[in-house]
Chains A and B, each alone.
Chain A
Amino acid sequence: MNDYIIETHNLTKKYGSQTSVSHLNIHVKKGRIYGLLGRNGAGKTTTMRMLLGLTAPTSGEVTIFGKPFQGNEKNILPHIGCLIESPGFYPNLTGTENLKIFAELRGLRSPKYIKNALELVNLPYRDKKLFSQYSLGMKQRLAIALAVMHNPELLILDEPINGLDPIGIAEVRDFIRELCDTSGKTILISSHILSEISLLADDVGIIDHGKLLEEESLKELEAKNAKFIHFCVSDAQKAAKIIAATFHSKDFRLTDANNLYLYDMTLPVERINRSFVESGIEIQEVHLCEDTLEDYFKKITGGEGIA
């Protein structure tokens, strides 16, 4: 038996002729934060809805806690906390009253569950403010409180920082990290914001047009980022010949008459510089460059869209 808390096997969802999620195989390890990263409409929410049984898959299987989800919903769902899309609550009730309804239905009789959950997200207990009067950030916090109220082993959070201000984002980020580190929770989090995933996730799945393009640990992804040296010189053609002849490397690229990108990081930069100067090449700029994660994601998803 593996230590995956969530595992999907060729999970597919079709709406008519449109395929929203296609043969998705994700693996969420116990006690880690898995970031599902993708543009808007990539299939993140549909995937999460299928994981929670809110949408039936067209084909494929979901395994949670080592058991097939289908047929075991009643045993599995009480151990999951979730936030899917926008927060859904009754507008005529206060935050505490809203949580009380769901606590009652979960069999949580003591008010301490509600109190603790509200404290965690910095919302007041027994406040008189109705949900309809809440700001977007407060609504989001209440939704997070609902997700964690019953102390679940697994959290599935769909874009949890939506609507939060920068301080709120940092608080929620720290709170999620702490849940994973100190309480050993497994967390699946989706976002279209790359920086959030890179700051929070241990493992990353990149989804685009319903397909999982990559699934690796964040460290592995970061290791994949290309490093190179950018030379801005008076004669790039001549500089290229020197690198090929003197340093026996062809791992470079010329973009125009003045710019050369050297990818072979084993070569001694100071000796290359000296050779260029001795050959009469004027060096205007030399930079050590590194592709950001964003560049990498743009490259593999084929375009813009991830902030």
Chain B
Amino acid sequence: MLDLIRCEFWKLKRKMFVQLVLAASFLFPIPLTAIIYYLNTAQNKYATKAAAFDALWQSVIGFGMLLLLPCILGIVAALLFFMERDNDTFKNLRTIPITSSQMVIAKCIVLLLLSIAFCISSTVASILCGFVFFGVTDILFKVLFSAIYGLLIAISALPLILLIIFFSRSYIFSIMLCVFYSVFNLLSTFSMIALPKWLVLTLPTPSIMLWGTQQMSSRTAINDTEDLQNFIQMGLIPSTPQLIITLGVIGVVSLLLAVYLYKKRSE
């Protein structure tokens, strides 16, 4: 499997994709730094520089990781999963023999690694900006937490990957799917209170966001305590085992269906 994963990365050579993904991780930290710097200096919104940095980091998580990353993962998934179809290399791999499930798992692991790299890179970008304009605290926690976020978001993007394989259309169609998925995530996150509890606990992105908010609350200098208490009272915040089960079920079902579809498509 390690060989297969290494080969998946070799296949991306000259595609500039890893570099672009990492570059995209700087997309939000830079403008968000400017906004928070303005809010901090002009309006004195944050009590300390550490609080201003934490506000920046949380914004980066919200916009960069929860909103942008699934979209990027979907596009990379389309590249990875359409690669064998477009280049007619299925036959070369299957006669080695590499099974469809091995191929799907290797490609998903590549996505997972890219997702973790993106999240860590986003946090590192925030930390770099934080060093210049704010006060940075608890670096190790933030880096580790972003790595966990990368893992969770990659799993939450598996239904999107399943859809991409299911439709198996052009890249433009896949990008449209990714945008739709991100908008859907955004809407479901904004309308959490209005949605039935079971749905909030089932939807991967709101679940990750709520779980993350609670985990971060004791380690960050700013706390939206009131909102958090509301969510706790409403029972919307999943426990760690609950989140693992939800994402585990979503991941396993998506993966099994993706293997089945990929096998069918490759014949």
Contact = CB atoms under 8 A, between A and B. Distances in A.
Interface of A: 49, 52-56, 73-74, 77-78, 80, 82, 84-93, 97, 100-102, 104-107, 130, 146
Interface of B: 3-4, 6-7, 10-11, 13-15, 83, 87-98, 267
A89 B90 CA distance: 10
Contact of B267 (A54, A80, A100, A102): A54
A56 B10 contact: no
Contact of A53 (B3, B6, B14, B97): B97
Contact of B7 (A53, A88, A105): A105
A273 to B, nearest CB: 61
Nearest to B97: A77
Query: Which of A82, A87, A90, A130 has its CB near the most chain B CB atoms (within 10 A)?
Result: A90
Interface of chain B, main secondary structure: helix
A88 B3 CA distance: 20
Given A88-B87, A88-B88, A90-B87, A102 B96 contact: yes
B94 A54 contact: yes
Contact of B4 (A54, A86, A100, A105): A105
Contacts of B93: 105
Contacts of A91: 87
A55 B94 CA distance: 11
The 8 closest A-B pairs by CB, nearest first: A88-B88, A88-B89, A77-B97, A92-B14, A101-B7, A84-B91, A52-B95, A105-B96
13 contacts: A53-B95, A53-B97, A54-B95, A54-B267, A84-B91, A85-B91, A88-B87, A88-B92, A90-B87, A104-B7, A105-B3, A105-B96, A146-B92
Nearest to A84: B91
Given A89-B89, A91-B87, A80 B11 contact: no
Nearest to A158: B91
B13 A92 contact: yes
A56 B267 contact: yes
Contacts of B89: 88-90
Contacts of B87: 88-91
B40 to A, nearest CB: 45
Nearest to B7: A101
A100 B95 CA distance: 16
Contacts of A93: 10-11, 13-14
Contacts of A88: 87-92
Given A93-B13, A104-B3, A105-B96, 17 more contacts: A54-B94, A54-B95, A77-B95, A82-B91, A84-B91, A87-B88, A88-B88, A90-B11, A97-B13, A100-B10, A102-B92, A104-B6, A104-B10, A105-B4, A105-B98, A107-B3, A146-B92
B97 A85 contact: no
Query: Which of A77, A80, A92, A100 has its CB near the most chain B CB atoms (within 10 A)?
Result: A92
